[in-house]
Structure 1
């Protein structure tokens, strides 16, 4: 962190000379104060929720069962963290440096989803209690940068800027994009799979569901692999597929810029603000007919058409969430949707009042710019960097200082400007920028 020294000696000395004449040598001894001033590239990381599995990244906190309020992660003070991803009980951090290690992980590691780690004080019983380096087989570690991370139930996907994609962890359904090995042992595994490109194009975005993975290429095409029992791979069938293949349906010929998933339902967003979906639609998440519960090809979500241009999407375990360019948030599906305790299901997108996200006559320009979701909790970030959460508050994962469920969006007391939020099953991590 940069610091700037500002001396008040001159001002104080002038005042002293006028009112109380003193020796100039004494005035030189007046204190000089240093005020910390952050760079625009400085980052902080806060975590909260279930702590005992180590996913919060603080070994001391792991002695507690859970942490109910955002806790600043000291690891991020030593490393320039550029991305975070929460899996099912584990967390991965991407750092920007010229050293060997670009990714660190902590939490549950029973399937080597955060790399191979020999038994140690900080990672007993398949748990890594403090961020530990993940050794990626990079050809040029000094120049390669990690652009994005994505985490599933027990696997991790790492996207680099010039060496493609790396996957590690459980591959029982082909979610790592490599051939399935029957009875493969994932505990203590050192296998890291490399995917240089897909369809002859570089991958620009990655995303994980529960046991499947999705990739967006520079041409805006979506590829998927993994478990397909609910049609979540979007390949036109319900079988397991290890080879990353192009998702078919209404997304073909469309420039997709983002895909979202937490479990078995997927949403995709185009550069024109259109929304597409495939996978599990048991709770009406995809706006299909009531008789349809699994959609195995991508379909345009017609119910989002009247909402205007969509700028962000999120998909939880049984609900979906979108925000339009006016900063209005819409939610549908089943669960605690943010509309109060009496509304737990909606087949169509329903608007959450903007006043609940801080828009009022004193701050009329306030609007939500991004949304995210875990299995059963949701979050939204405004253009002022303010975080709001709601939903099922499992082990304090909402960061509100208690463990009661929250039926309306409520502001989280994070001591920094929130840039990105990653929601797991029972914990949450926020990547932030200091206010000053």
Structure 2
């Protein structure tokens, strides 16, 4: 994919610079992140107040809120509204990354994991505090990315509000930090294996809940469950993985976790949602904003052939095979991307109205942008789009 026919777009809240467009204004329509035009971006991640992009050559760019070192370099200012490269990782090839509440994780092509940002619960894999010479405790944010979970060959990293989860290449899942809201459980900065999981293919982590999809198609969940986000039919938290109800007989190909809600995607493009339903973030229509204790099919997306769902804090976006995006959930700050700040559980298409690439030939100027990947954050969304000429659509 040549970088000259793709673009990175953003919309929603910009108050922390998380849109990467050079100012801190919000956008209720999509806009292009021009600073990334010269890069060939393979994936984007949106956090609660931050964003990152990973390039095909392994370079990592970050932008947004930086008070805790979340951008991977010491904060000169609290927020940065233009993407900048994480220099400390320039010598390795980053292939995947995650943003938690205020910490980040990344993994390189060798399976080495890195962490940086807020560390008060040990979520960066480092003892959260140390004493200075006078015996006072110092909180230790990690400003510069450093290795974490060094004993493991990592396939995927995922970050929660105050904890971290990694999937290793042998299909096991390990976690550290504080997996529950403060006070419930002692934080730990050393990885602990999550028992009861084998041959895991994919993990997804919300604020305080976790999902793991095994190779045999079984979906398991653990963690907090106050809105039914574990899909167990109740609101009891689980410290060990349990099977998510109501998905047997389905072939699951992808999972996603928002702050307090969850989704699963089947091989025939159907979406199932569960957990917190407030603001319509599950996509069950305007009248039904209640939480769901077990997965239910999102009928309003039926027949759209969905290939990816991303869940944010209070909104979600579904991506179709032909490159259209449907957003639903909380509408303020423009986070639904179609010019109306109305909160709705009704999925609506996000128009990609940005100019065509500058260097397209005369014949290729007739075309449209199609989305390839979407990433929802706390109050903003990022996506990778590609220019398709009308001839190439035939």
User: TM over 0.5: same fold?
Assistant: yes
Is 1:313 the counterpart of 2:255? The answer is: yes
Are residues 411 and 218 of structure 1, via their aligned partners in 2, closer, same or farther at CA, if it must alter by over 3 Å?
A: same
What is the alpha-carbon distance in structure 1 between the residues aligned to residue 54 and residue 138 of structure 2?
A: 28
- Among 328, 335, 340, which residue is 1:397 paired with? 335
- Among 151, 160, 173, which residue is 2:108 paired with? 160
Is 1:303 the counterpart of 2:260? The answer is: no
Is 1:278 the counterpart of 2:222? The answer is: yes
Residue 324 of structure 2 is matched in structure 1 by: 386
Residue 84 of structure 1 is matched in structure 2 by: 44
Structure index of larger Rg: 1
- Unpaired runs of at least 5, structure 2: 131-136, 354-368, 390-394
Partner SS for 2:179: coil
What is the alpha-carbon distance in structure 2 between the residues aligned to residue 185 and residue 149 of structure 1?
A: 24
What is the alpha-carbon distance in structure 1 between the residues aligned to residue 105 and residue 224 of structure 2?
A: 22
Q: How far off is 1:350 after superposition? A: 1.6
What is the alpha-carbon distance in structure 1 between the residues aligned to residue 293 and residue 15 of structure 2?
A: 37
Are 1:109 and 1:127, in contact at CA under 8 Å, matched by a contact in 2?
Answer: yes
Q: How far off is 1:259 after superposition? A: 1.1
Residue 22 of structure 2 is matched in structure 1 by: 59
Q: How far off is 1:106 after superposition? A: 1.1
Q: Which moved more, 1:320-329 or 1:110-119?
A: 110-119
Are residues 186 and 90 of structure 1, via their aligned partners in 2, closer, same or farther at CA, if it must alter by over 3 Å?
A: farther
Residue 108 of structure 1 is matched in structure 2 by: 65
Q: How far off is 1:293 after superposition? A: 2.5
- Among 378, 382, 393, which residue is 1:429 paired with? 382
What is the alpha-carbon distance in structure 2 between the residues aligned to residue 97 and residue 323 of structure 1?
A: 29
What is the alpha-carbon distance in structure 2 between the residues aligned to residue 357 and residue 413 of structure 1?
A: 17
Are 1:93 and 1:103, in contact at CA under 8 Å, matched by a contact in 2?
Answer: yes
Residue 170 of structure 2 is matched in structure 1 by: 219
- Among 56, 62, 83, which residue is 1:96 paired with? 56
- Unpaired runs of at least 5, structure 1: 1-37, 232-236, 360-365
Residue 352 of structure 1 is matched in structure 2 by: 298
Residue 275 of structure 2 is matched in structure 1 by: 333
Q: How far off is 1:56 after superposition? A: 0.3
Residue 362 of structure 1 is matched in structure 2 by: none
Is 1:170 the counterpart of 2:118? The answer is: yes
Q: How far off is 1:271 after superposition? A: 2.1
What is the alpha-carbon distance in structure 1 between the residues aligned to residue 253 and residue 276 of structure 2?
A: 22
What is the alpha-carbon distance in structure 1 between the residues aligned to residue 165 and residue 189 of structure 2?
A: 12
- Among 188, 197, 218, which residue is 1:241 paired with? 188
Residue 364 of structure 2 is matched in structure 1 by: none
Number of paired residues?
A: 363
TM-score by length of 2: 0.85
Q: How far off is 1:178 after superposition? A: 1.6
Are residues 259 and 129 of structure 1, via their aligned partners in 2, closer, same or farther at CA, if it must alter by over 3 Å?
A: same
Q: RCO greater where, 1 or 2, for CA within 8 Å and sep 6 or more?
A: 2
What is the alpha-carbon distance in structure 1 between the residues aligned to residue 225 and residue 210 of structure 2?
A: 9
Is 1:413 the counterpart of 2:346? The answer is: no
What is the alpha-carbon distance in structure 2 between the residues aligned to residue 147 and residue 331 of structure 1?
A: 28
Are 1:238 and 1:296, in contact at CA under 8 Å, matched by a contact in 2?
Answer: no
Q: How far off is 1:118 after superposition? A: 5.6
More strand by share: 2
What is the alpha-carbon distance in structure 1 between the residues aligned to residue 199 and residue 220 of structure 2?
A: 12
Are residues 371 and 349 of structure 1, via their aligned partners in 2, closer, same or farther at CA, if it must alter by over 3 Å?
A: same
TM-score by length of 1: 0.78
Aligned pairs for 1:9-20 within 5 A: none
Are 1:169 and 1:186, in contact at CA under 8 Å, matched by a contact in 2?
Answer: no
Q: How far off is 1:229 after superposition? A: 2.5
What is the alpha-carbon distance in structure 2 between the residues aligned to residue 358 and residue 77 of structure 1?
A: 35
Are residues 113 and 184 of structure 1, via their aligned partners in 2, closer, same or farther at CA, if it must alter by over 3 Å?
A: farther
Residue 343 of structure 1 is matched in structure 2 by: 288
What is the alpha-carbon distance in structure 1 between the residues aligned to residue 3 and residue 71 of structure 2?
A: 29
What is the alpha-carbon distance in structure 1 between the residues aligned to residue 202 and residue 267 of structure 2?
A: 15
1:216-250 CA distances to partner (integer Å, 9 max, x unpaired)? 1111111111112269xxxxx9331211221113x
Are 1:50 and 1:426, in contact at CA under 8 Å, matched by a contact in 2?
Answer: yes
Residue 207 of structure 1 is matched in structure 2 by: 158
